[in-house]
Structures are given as C-alpha cells and as structure tokens.
C-alpha cells in the first residue's frame, strides 16, 4: 500500500481575503514610511539651507563712552545701558529699551543693532540705532527725552556740538537736530548712504558718505562750503589735525585734505579698505586697515614712518588707541597688540579675547574698555592683561 | 575648506560686481545676466542629465519585466545592470551632471549673500573677497533695489515666492521621468509639490536676489526642456496633470519618449533610440490620438 498523498490545503475565500488585506496594509505602510522619510529629509534640507543662506543679520559694533563714573555702552544686541563702574565690575543702572516703551507713532521700540557709539552732553545720552531712530536719553534714569526718525538705518555715531546733534543715515542724509528738543534744524542730502561719523570743528561739519565725496558744510545752515571727489565710497570717520583732514575710503586710500579748501595734500594706498578712524599723535598718523595692517605715516606728506607696517593677521576696523606710551591695536579676530608708536614693534601680544572686535575702544588713563560683538566688555591694561567686566543688575 | 572660497565663491562674487558695472549699476539685471551665463556654461551638463533621465525612463518596461521575472534581489540587480550595460544607459548619468553643478549653485548662493547682505558686517566680509581692481571697488556700495524688491532682504509681497513656486513646479513636472513603479510614482508625486513649496518657503527667508536667481534659472530650464523635448511637452495638459500610472510605453510616448516603432528597437542602445526633433514631430500625432483614446475611456 502506498501512502495516500497529503491533501493540498485549499485556502478559503476568507483566508485569501485576509492575505490580500495584509499585503495591501504592508504596501500602504511602506508607502507611508517612504513618504515620511522623504518629508523628514526635505524638512532637514530646508532647515539646513535656511541656516546657510539666510539673510545677514546686523549685530552692531557700538563702542563705550564714559560720563563721570558712569560707562554708557551697548551691552547686548540692541540694548544700551548705563553702568556704574566698580573695582571688579559694573552695576547696571538702567537699560534701554524697556518693555512697553514706544515710538511717538505708538509702535513698540524693539531692540535692534546699535553701531552708534553713544555721545553724552548736557546729562543726555545720544545714539542712533539700526531702526533709523535717534534717541536722546536721560543719563541718570535712561528715560527718553526725545526721539527722532531718519529715513534709514543709522550706522555712524551722532556728534553733539553747540546744542546741535548731527547724525548721518543710510538714507544719504545728514540731519541736524536741536539737542534740547529734537526738532530738525536742517538736513543735507548726499548721494549715498552715510555710515561714517560726522566731524564738527570750528563751525564746519565734515561728512564722508559712500557717494565717494567729502563734504564740508556750514554748521549753522548746512550750506555746502566745498566737496572733494574720491575714487571710492567713504566709510571712515574724518579726523582733523593741524588744518589737515584725514579720511579713509573703500578705494584703499587714506586721503589727507586741506581742511579750508578741500584740496588733496596727499594720499596713501594700502592693500584693502580704510574703515578705521585714524589716530594722530604729533606729526604721525596711525591708521588700521582691513588688510590687517596698521600703518604709521607722516602727517605732512604721508610717507611711511615705520620700517614696515605692523601686520595683525586679520582686518582692523577698531581705531588704534594710545595707552600711556603703548599703541593699542585690536583686529577683527579679537587679537590685541601693544605696539611701540616709534618703531611699530610689538611690545606685547597677541592677547586673545576670542571674540570679534569691531568697535572703537575707549581709553581711561592707562587702561582701555574694549567692546566685543555680543555686547560683552573687557578691560585691557597697558601691559596687555585683560579682564571681563562683570556686570550686575541694580538691586542684584 | 580653504580652497572653496578662492576657487568658487570669490570669482563668482567679483564676476557679479563686474556684471553690475556692465549693466550700469542695476544689480538685479546683473543677477539675471549671471544666471543666464551660468545656465549657458552648464548647458552641456544639463542636456546630458535630461537625456540620461529620459534614457532611464525608456527602460522602465524592461526593468519592470525583470522585477517580475526574478524574485532573487541579487539576480534581479545583476540582470538590471546587464540591461543598463546593453542599452548603454548609466543610472549615474542623471546624478553626476547634477552633482557637478552643485558647487556652482552653492557658491552662487554664498556670493549673493555676501554681495547683497547689506549690513555693515557683511560689507567688511565683502572687502576680504574682492580683487584689488579699481573697476570693482568703484561699484560699491551696490544698489540693491530691483523692481519692487530690496535684493538684500526677503520679498514680503509673496510675488517672488509665487513666481519661484510656479516656475519650480513646471520645471519639476517636465523633469520627472515617467515610471510604472507605484512607489516611485508616489515619491515623484510628493516631490512634484514638495520641491516648489520648499523653494517658495526659501524665497520668503533668504535675500530676494536668490529668489530672482531661482526664478530665472527655472524659466531657462523650462525653455531648455522645450528645445530638447519639443513643443508637444509644453502644453497645459502635460504641465497641470499629475504624472499618471499609465503603462510605461504610453507614459514614455506621452512624455515625448518612445513611439511603438522605437519600442521595437529598444533592444538597440538607448542613446541610438533617443528621438531627434523630427522623430518627436512624427510621434506627436500618434501620442495625441492615444491620449484622446485614453481620455475617452
């Protein structure tokens, strides 16, 4: 007898339906997983690309100012503060803006980048912000005395002289406001953005806009006295010394002009733009450059005074400063150097702050305050030692 | 990467500023001109990519047959690769030209960000990238207004975002190869909407100069498809209808792929089977009548 073959299992209609249903579900699940993975991939790419290609965000580089024992400085993005300086740190007296503070139009004052180093006159702090507003705050309390709007972001600091505040704006206009009331006295329209700080001296306002011209204006009326045509836009703050007006440009030149007529005396060409305010000591001009070098030139003819310029290794935007007999230089990477002004040799340095430095430092005796990007303040001694200024809130 | 900036980003940044001078200081027109030049330079690569993508799509029916025939994944893979070899098609042919263009795209994004950044910080950054030529420095600072936009800021009017969305959709629709695989179809369908949405979202986040670049680049891409595939492809039906799950031969025909005669000669290398403009014209009537029959059904 041969064993009967095992009967083949016949799937019932229900079983077949179950198999088909399971298969459909599996396919659906796989499709869903595939779609979800793709969606996650797209979202990740989206996040990465937005981070890489987003708009450049203005940070601000306002330097500090001293008014008695009070330091006024931008200590965070878009925040101005007055600090009572103590031995090891500082106590914040007030901050601006406060929550709920408003513009005359009723809109809220929001913290925006501040490039404008505050100026103090008649117990009032004046500074412009990237939102285009010029603010006048009470030095003691931080309350708003007045505020005036310009037609574009304010990058250069305001200058106060003889009861008038002068400030340039990205809208290409130079504004003259009454320091007491904030009412507009006059305005001068240039051909392009004004990012530099105007210079007020002897009843004349000198301004260097990006329209490649230097203007000398009558301080009382804003009438043009003369203009000088440069080869490139101008962003550095003019300096006046012995009848010579010094101004640097993005045409890689440092110009020396006759302050009375605007005629060019000489110019010095470097390897990159001049965006720092030059420092004049006796018959020498010290100018930092975005090529990373610091140049020492003769005031009368622009000839180099050092054997070779001092190379800091990174662009120099912050103005050089004299601490007693040491020339303090800071580059964008936060490296500080103490130089011998006579020879250009490093006495010390680099001392690294490990933060970006673009703001002009402030001297107080043989010590300097250096403001770094992000709003922190450091003290630097003439021997190169540094310390972070620790701030505490009032009542803290 | 130390070489990335001097090899890619800096030359593109300087070229953009030189173009800005050539078009009398209109940076928007400079971006458009630059985009056209870049598309012109990469045209051989793009054309190769389109042709490779098309060659792959013509092999779809055979690949499907192989998938049915061989259940063992290893064997299936071997047979598929053999088919590619015999047909002279290369799966990397679609990807390689795109990969080659990536550095240019990424560098252009960076260059645009640097040149139209608009902030004082970005201006200092720009100083480190310019060649020491007076001709370039004279152009600074750049005038970043173009039509209704500030090229350094995102366009908040949504107009540019819409243009980028529409142009990306059309280009994506034309570029998507037909397929009979349901999973690929589902992915394609998702990408068809996801990519335009993604780029429209980008446009609202990034400087509008980049949006202008995307829009112009897409429009040029669509024009290139017009010349490569022929005018039949650029009708509203093709653009607006979702990619269907029609049989591959029919799909290929609808997409300007193979006619039945060409299908017969699919044994020949794919490059040889690729239609010329004349073939496209002959095929179009056949494809149109087939499409009509399908509609009636």
Q: Which residue ranges make up each domain of chain A?
A: 59-197, 203-311, 322-396
Cβ atoms of B109 and A52 within 8 Å: the answer is yes
pLDDT score recorded for residue A343: 95
Cβ atoms of residues B277 and B283 within 8 Å: no
Mean pLDDT of chain B: 74
Minimum mean pLDDT range among A4-8, A292-296, A380-384? A4-8
Residue of B nearest to A44 (CA): B198
DSSP state for residue A392 in the 8-state scheme: E
Q: Given this model, what pLDDT does residue B15 score?
A: 93
B152·A55 Cβ contact <8 A: yes
B118 near A CB under 8 A = yes
Q: Give whichever of A273-282, B190-199, B275-284 has the largest mean pLDDT.
A: A273-282
Please judge whether B186 and A50 are an interchain contact, meaning their C-beta atoms are less than 8 angstroms apart: no
Query: pLDDT band at B171, cuts 50/70/90?
Result: confident
B112, A163 contact by CB (below 8 A): no
pLDDT band of residue A395 (cuts 50, 70, 90) is low
Q: Which residue has the higher pLDDT, A67 or B153?
A: A67
A45 touches chain B (CB under 8 A): yes
Calpha distance A112→A128 (Å, rounded): 10
Classify the phi-psi angles of B48: left when phi > 0, otherwise alpha if psi is within -120 to 50, otherwise beta.
alpha
Instruction: Please tell me whether the interface predicted TM-score (ipTM) of this complex is above 0.85.
Output: no
Q: Please, which pLDDT band fits residue A381 given cuts at 50, 70 and 90?
A: very high
Q: CA nearest B118 in A: which residue?
A: A56
User: Tell me, what's the pLDDT at A26?
Assistant: 66
Contact A294, A308 (CB under 8 A): no
pLDDT value, residue B269? 36
Residue among A347, A339, A348, A351 nearest A295 (CA): A339
Interchain CB contact of A274 with B (< 8 Å): no
Is residue A358 over pLDDT 50? yes
Per-residue pLDDT at A43: 61
Mean per-residue pLDDT of chain A: 89
- Which of A27, A58, A193 is facing B141, going by the closest CB pair? A193
Distance between the two ends of chain A, CA-based, in angstroms? Answer: 104
Which of A188-202, B26-40, B228-242 is the least confident region?
Answer: B228-242
User: What average pLDDT score do residues A377-388 get?
Assistant: 93
pLDDT at A308: 95
Contact A315 B127 (CB under 8 A): yes
Q: Which domain holds residue B202?
A: 4-296
pLDDT at A352 over 50: yes
Nearest-5° Cα angle at A360, A235 to A79: 100
Does this chain's domain A59-197 share its CATH topology with A203-311? yes
Question: What number is the average pLDDT over the span B83-91?
Answer: 73
CA distance B244 to B246: 5
Query: Picking from A133-142, A196-205, A245-254, B263-272, which range would have the lowest pLDDT averaged per residue?
Result: B263-272
> Is residue B141 within 8 Å of B151, Cβ to Cβ?
no
Kind of pairing, strands A89-96 and A390-393? parallel
Between positions 228 and 267 of A, the ones with CB within 8 A of B are 231-233, 235, 250-252
**Which residues of chain A does B124 touch, with a Cβ-Cβ cutoff of 8 Å?**
275, 290, 315, 317, 332, 358
Q: Which residues on neighbouring strands pair with residue A227, listed in sequence order?
A: A215
B22 confidence band (pLDDT: 50, 70, 90): very high
Q: How many domains does chain B have?
A: 1
For testing the chain A interface, which of B124, B189, B214 should be mutated: the one with the most A CBs within 10 Å? B124
Determine the pLDDT at residue A53.
Answer: 53
In CATH, what is the architecture of A59-197? Beta Barrel (2.40)
Across B186-195, average pLDDT: 78
With cut-offs at 50, 70 and 90, classify the pLDDT of residue B24.
confident
Chain B residues close to A193, C-beta within 8 Å: 141
State the Cα–Cα distance between residues B167 and B175, nearest whole angstrom: 12
- How many DSSP H helices and E strands does chain A contain? 1, 33
List pLDDT tens digits, range A11-46. Answer: 677 777 777 777 667 666 666 666 666 666 666 565
Chain pair A-B, CB pairs under 8 angstroms: 103
Tokens 């090529």 belong to residue? A291
Chain A residues near residue B205 by CB distance under 8 angstroms: 50, 53-55
Q: What percent of chain A has pLDDT over 90?
A: 75
Residue corresponding to tokens 């030149």: A253
Residue A82 token pair: 């007055």
Residue among B113, B134, B154 whose CB faces A251 most closely:
B134
How confident is the model over A207-244, as pLDDT tens digits? Answer: 999 999 999 999 999 999 999 999 999 999 999 999 99
User: Average pLDDT, stretch A258-286?
Assistant: 96
CA distance A130 to B186: 49
- Across residues A247-275, what is the average pLDDT? 96
Chain mean position to CA A151: 19
Quick one: pLDDT at residue B113? 80
Rounded Cα–Cα distance for residues A369 and A73 (Å): 10
Residue from A32, A47, A53, A115 whose CB has the most chain B CBs within 10 Å, to mutate: A53
CATH 2.40.128.630 fits A203-311, yes or no: yes
Closest-approach residue (CA) in chain A for B130: A272
Residue of A nearest to B109 (CA): A53
Contact of A346 with A306, CB cutoff 8 Å: no
More confidently predicted of B3 and B231: B3
pLDDT score of A87:
63
* More confident of the two residues B137 and A282: A282
Decide which of B169 and A65 is more confident.
Answer: A65
Looking at per-residue pLDDT, the higher value among A339 and A390 belongs to: A339
- CB contact, 8 Å: A333 with chain B? no
Better pLDDT: A392 or B181? A392
pLDDT of res. A23: 66
Partners of B201 on chain A (C-beta within 8 Å) are 46
pLDDT over 70 percentage in chain B: 70
Per-residue pLDDT for A315 more than 60?
Answer: yes
Local structure of B243: helix, strand or coil:
coil
Instruction: Decide which of 2.40.10.480, 2.60.40.1190, 1.10.3720.10, 1.20.210.10 is the CATH code for A322-396.
Output: 2.40.10.480
CA atoms within 13 A on the CB side of B148: 6
Mean pLDDT of the B286-290 span: 44
Where does the pLDDT of residue B206 fall: very low under 50, low under 70, confident under 90, or very high at 90 and above?
confident
A272 touches chain B (CB under 8 A): yes
- Length of chain A, please? 396
């Amino acid at each position: 007898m041969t064993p009967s073959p095992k009967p083949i299992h016949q799937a019932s209609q229900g079983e077949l339906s179950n198999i088909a249903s399971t298969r459909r579900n599996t396919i659906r699940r796989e499709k869903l997983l595939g779609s979800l993975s793709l969606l996650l991939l797209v979202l990740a790419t989206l996040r990465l690309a937005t981070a890489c290609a987003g708009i450049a965000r203005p940070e601000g580089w306002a330097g500090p100012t001293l008014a008695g024992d009070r330091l006024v400085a931008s200590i965070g993005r878009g925040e101005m503060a007055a600090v009572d300086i103590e031995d090891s740190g500082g106590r914040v007296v007030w901050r601006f803006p406060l929550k709920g503070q408003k513009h005359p139009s009723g809109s809220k004052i929001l913290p925006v980048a501040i490039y404008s180093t505050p100026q103090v006159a008649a117990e009032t702090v004046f500074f412009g912000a990237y939102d285009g507003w010029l603010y006048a705050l009470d030095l003691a309390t931080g309350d708003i005395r007045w505020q005036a709007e310009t037609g574009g972001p304010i990058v250069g600091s305001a200058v106060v002289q003889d009861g008038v505040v002068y400030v340039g704006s990205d809208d290409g206009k130079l504004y003259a406001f009454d320091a007491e009331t904030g009412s507009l006295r006059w305005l001068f329209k240039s051909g392009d953005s004004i990012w530099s700080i105007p210079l007020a001296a002897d009843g004349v306002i000198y301004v260097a806009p990006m329209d490649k011209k230097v203007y000398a204006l009558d301080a009382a009326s804003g009438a043009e006295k003369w203009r000088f045509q440069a080869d490139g836009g101008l962003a550095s703050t003019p300096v006046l010394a012995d009848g010579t007006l010094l101004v640097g440009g993005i045409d890689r030149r440092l110009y020396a002009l006759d302050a009375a007529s605007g005629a060019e005396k000489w110019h010095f060409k470097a390897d990159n733009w001049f965006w720092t305010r030059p420092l004049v000591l006796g018959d020498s001009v010290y100018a930092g450059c975005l090529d990373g070098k610091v140049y020492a030139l003769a005031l009368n003819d622009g000839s180099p005074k050092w054997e070779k310029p001092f190379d800091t290794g990174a662009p120099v935007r912050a103005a050089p400063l004299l601490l007693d007999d040491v020339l303090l230089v800071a580059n964008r990477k936060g490296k500080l150097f103490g130089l011998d002004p006579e020879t250009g040799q490093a006495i010390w340095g680099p001392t690294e702050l490990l933060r970006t430095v673009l703001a002009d430092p402030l001297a107080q005796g043989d010590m300097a305050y250096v403001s770094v990007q992000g709003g922190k303040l450091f003290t630097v001694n003439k021997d190169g030692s540094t310390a972070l200024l620790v701030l505490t809130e009032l009542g803290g | 990467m130390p070489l990335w900036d001097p090899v890619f980003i800096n030359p593109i940044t300087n070229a953009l500023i030189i173009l800005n001078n050539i078009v009398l200081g209109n940076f928007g027109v400079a971006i458009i001109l630059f985009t056209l030049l870049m598309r012109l330079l990469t045209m051989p690569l793009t054309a190769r990519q389109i042709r490779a993508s098309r060659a792959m799509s013509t092999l779809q029916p055979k690949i499907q047959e192989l998938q049915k025939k061989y259940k063992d994944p290893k064997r299936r893979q071997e047979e598929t690769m053999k088919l590619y070899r015999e047909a002279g098609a290369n799966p990397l042919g679609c990807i390689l030209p795109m990969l080659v263009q990536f550095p240019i795209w990424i560098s252009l994004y960076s260059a645009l960000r640097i040149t139209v950044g608009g902030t004082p910080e970005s201006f200092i950054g720009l100083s480190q990238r310019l060649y020491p030529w007076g001709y370039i420095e004279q152009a600074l600072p750049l005038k970043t207004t173009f039509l209704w936009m500030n090229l350094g800021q995102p366009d908040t009017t949504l107009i540019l975002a819409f243009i980028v969305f529409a142009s990306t959709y059309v280009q994506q629709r034309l570029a998507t190869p037909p397929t009979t695989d349901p999973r690929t179809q589902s992915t394609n369908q998702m990408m068809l909407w996801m990519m335009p949405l993604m780029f429209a979202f980008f446009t609202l986040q990034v400087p509008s100069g980049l949006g202008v670049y995307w829009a112009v680049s897409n429009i040029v891409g669509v024009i290139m498809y017009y010349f490569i595939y022929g005018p039949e492809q650029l009708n509203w039906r093709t653009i607006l209808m979702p990619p269907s799950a029609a049989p591959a031969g029919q799909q290929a025909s609808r997409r300007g792929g193979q006619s039945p005669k060409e299908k017969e000669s699919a044994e020949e290398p794919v490059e040889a089977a690729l239609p010329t403009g004349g073939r496209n014209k002959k095929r179009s009537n056949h494809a149109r009548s087939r499409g009509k029959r399908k509609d009636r059904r």
